[in-house]
Structures are given as C-alpha cells and as structure tokens.
Structure 1
Amino acid sequence: MEINVQRIDGNWNLGYSLDKHVLSSTYLGDNQWGHATFDTTRSEVGEALYQLKYRSDFNQIPLIANQLSDSLAKLFSSASLVIPMPPSKQRARQPVIEIAQIVAKNMGIPCYENLLIKTKDTPQMKDIESRKDKVETLVQALAINDLLGNAQYDVLIIDDLYDSGASLEAATNILREYKKVRNIFVATATRKHNA
C-alpha cells in the first residue's frame, strides 16, 4: 500500500496518520434525487477505509491494521497498550476496535477496548458548529474505566479518520486526568486533506 505518513498535532504527545483520505474530489452536479455527486479519488488507505466503513468490506481491517503497525509502530515504541477510539455509533462489528486489536497484537502489547468508554450518545459532530463545542460535548460523553495496574503507561489511541481532531482531543483530555497514563500517542489511518 502506497502511503504518505504525516504528523498530526494536538494535545497528545505524538501523532501520525498514514495518508490523506481524499486526494481529489470534483463536483459533477446533482443526481435525479437532488444529491450532489462527485468524482472522488482516494489514497489507497482512504479507499480501503471507505470500502470498510461504507461497503462493509471487513477484509480491509487487517490491511489497514497491518499498514498502521508496519509504518507507525516504531514511532510509538514506548507504548505499553493500545486504546481504540470509542465508536460514535453502535454497530454489529466495530472496525476501529478490530483494527486496534490487530495493531496491539502486532506490537506485542494489550488492547484495552473498555478503558476509554462512551457513557452517552452524542449528536453527529458535523451538526455541532464550533470545534470547542465538539470537544466539550465529547468530553462529557467519555469516561475512564479503571482497568490498569498501579503504574504509569504510555498509551496509543487508534482511530480511523483524523478530521478536526475534536474526538482525539477530547479522548486525550480525559486520559490526561487518569493518573496511570503518562504519554499519549495517536495513530489514524487517514486524515482530511485540510487537517
């Protein structure tokens, strides 16, 4: 898989994404139902993520996870556990959790799916205008489930797409309050082109 790794900055200690999600998108006009149509070219990992999320092609999970491990694990060598970003909506299968489990296995460290938990539903982030309000809404919906022993850990949060960074910022804010977490690293499959 061809990738273009780029650092993503935020309130975490270190973060990277594999590639842009979309390389180009040209508006073609509206279809017969009045919906905008686009000719979209995605990066290889962006296409894999699109097929996974919107076409339920679960064969993409190991491809994305292995690429994350191969390309980014060495940058987070002090991480002693992986935390998937809590899903925004309930699904029979949670792709981010499955990706995080494979990344953790490849790194030889545990994956804690229930350490950072979502305690209540939130509106769609695209419906909340300001970034500050997005972060506040998410912080109020996240909590720590104290599963760790009495030590300090460097943790790696896995997410699929880095857009505004609001969800990762909220997750980092919550984890910063947890005395057992020292450094927080972030890895995402893709990033929005304007991020």
Structure 2
Amino acid sequence: MNVNVKEINGVWDKGFSLDKHKISSTYAGENEYGHPTFNTLRTDIGEALYQLKYKADFSQCDVIAANLNNLIVPLLPFVSFIFAMPPSKVRPKQPVIEIGHALSKLTDKPCINDILIKSKTTPQMKDIENREDRVNTLLDAFVVNTNVVKNRLPKEKYNIFIIDDLFDTGTSLEAVTKKLRECGKIDQVLVATVTRTI
C-alpha cells in the first residue's frame, strides 16, 4: 500500500495523518434523482477507509490499524492508551472504534473510549460558519467520565493517542483535546487520522 504520512498541527502535542483521502474527483453528471455524481480517485488508504465506512467492509480495520501501527506509532513518544474519536453518525458498528480496537491489539495498549461521553447531539459542523463556535459547540457536547478517570487511570499522567478517520478543519480534534485535558490526568495528546483533505 502506497501511503504519504504528513504531520498535522493543532492544539495537540503531536499529530500525523496517513495520507490524503482522494487524489481527484471529477463531475460525471447527474443521477436519476438529479443529484450530481462524481468519478473519484482515492489514495490507497482513502479507498480502504471508503470501503470500511460506506461498504461496511470491516476487514479494512486491520489494514488501516497496521498502517497506523507501522507508520505513525514509531513517530510518537510513549503511548499510554488509545482513544477513538466519538462517532458523529449512529451506525450499528462504528468504524473508528473498530480501528481503535484493531490498533489496541497490535500495540498491546488499551483502547479506552468511554473516558468522554457525548452528552448531547450537535448540529452538522458544516452548518456552523465560525470555527470558534464549532469548537465551543463540541466542547459543550462532551463530558469527561469521572468514573473512568478514577477507576482506569490511577496514575498521575498519561499520553493519550487519539485516532480519527478524517482530518479536515481539525475542530473535532481540537475540542476533544481541550476536553480531555480537563480531567487532569493527560500529559501529552497524540493524534493520528487515517486520511486528510489537505
């Protein structure tokens, strides 16, 4: 698999993305409902993510996790545990969480996804124009699960490794990074995304 890892910067301590999501997308006309259609050429990892999310091919989790483990984990300082970004869409099986579990097996690091609870639904971020408003909306939607912090994080400081599917504006990762720092147990926030738009 051909992958082009790139550093992604933000309020977190260190972050990387495996590759761009797509190489090109050209207009192909309209479908029978009058909606535009496109011929899209994706990167190898972008295609794997597409197959996982939109074709429910969960065998792609192992492929994606292996790339994260082989290409990004060695670039990071010590990882204490993995955290998969909370889903924005309800699905019977959540792709990013499944990637987190697959990566957990490869790294022998726990995947602790219940450290944050999404306490309320949020509007689509694309419908909120201002970046600061998007971050604040997300900050308001998440609550640190103090029971998990108390019972699963007995030591003083941990390096958390957040994984997500796509890096676009970075507002979700920014909000989650800020919220996780509130628990007082996080030393470094490390980030990896499967794909990026930039």
Would you say same fold, with TM above 0.5? yes
Q: Which runs of 5 or more residues in structure 2 are unaligned?
A: none
Contact 1:83/1:116 (CA < 8 Å) preserved in 2? no
Q: Which residue of 2 aligns with 1:19?
A: 19
Alignment of 1:1-195 (within 5 A): 1-146=1-146, 147=148, 148-192=153-197, 195=198
List alignment gaps of at least 5 residues for structure 1: none
Amino acid at match of 2:2: E
Opposite residue 177 of structure 1, the aligned amino acid is E
Partner Cα separation in structure 1 for residue 102 and residue 57 of structure 2: 16
Task: Report the Cα distance in structure 2 between the residues aligned to 1:89 and 1:118, rounded to whole angstroms.
Answer: 12
- 1:3 CA displacement: 0.2
Q: CA deviation at 1:29?
A: 2.5
Distance 1:102 1:49 in 2: 14
Deviation at 1:120, TM superposition (A): 1.0
Deviation at 1:57, TM superposition (A): 1.2
TM-score, scaled relative to structure 1: 0.94
Which amino acid in 1 is paired with 2:110? P
- Residue 108 of structure 1 deviates from its aligned partner by 1.7
TM-score, normalization by structure 2: 0.93
After the TM superposition, which parts of structure 1 deviate over 3 Å for at least 4 consecutive aligned residues? none
3-state secondary structure, aligned to 1:89:
coil
CA distance in 2, matches of 1:74, 1:151: 24
Fraction of identical pairs, as percent: 51
CA distance in 2, matches of 1:47, 1:124: 24
* 1:15-37 CA distance string (max 9 Å, x none): 00000001111112323322111
**3-state SS in 1 of match to 2:74:** helix
SS of aligned partner of 1:140:
helix
**CA positional deviation for 1:81:** 0.6
Tell me how far apart the structure 1 counterparts of residues 86 and 9 of structure 2 sit (CA, whole Å).
20
The AA in structure 2 aligned to 1:76 is L
Q: Which shows bigger deviation, 24-33 or 3-12? A: 24-33
Distance (whole Å) between structure 1 residues aligned to residue 36 and residue 63 of structure 2:
31
Could you tell me whether the CA contact under 8 Å between 1:85 and 1:116 is conserved in 2?
no
Secondary structure of 1:52's match?
helix
User: C-alpha distance in 1, partners of 2:47/2:117?
Assistant: 28
Any conservation in 2 of the 1:86–1:118 contact (CA below 8 Å)?
Answer: yes
Distance 2:165 2:5 in 1: 14
CA distance in 2 between partners of 1:116 and 1:183 (Å) = 17
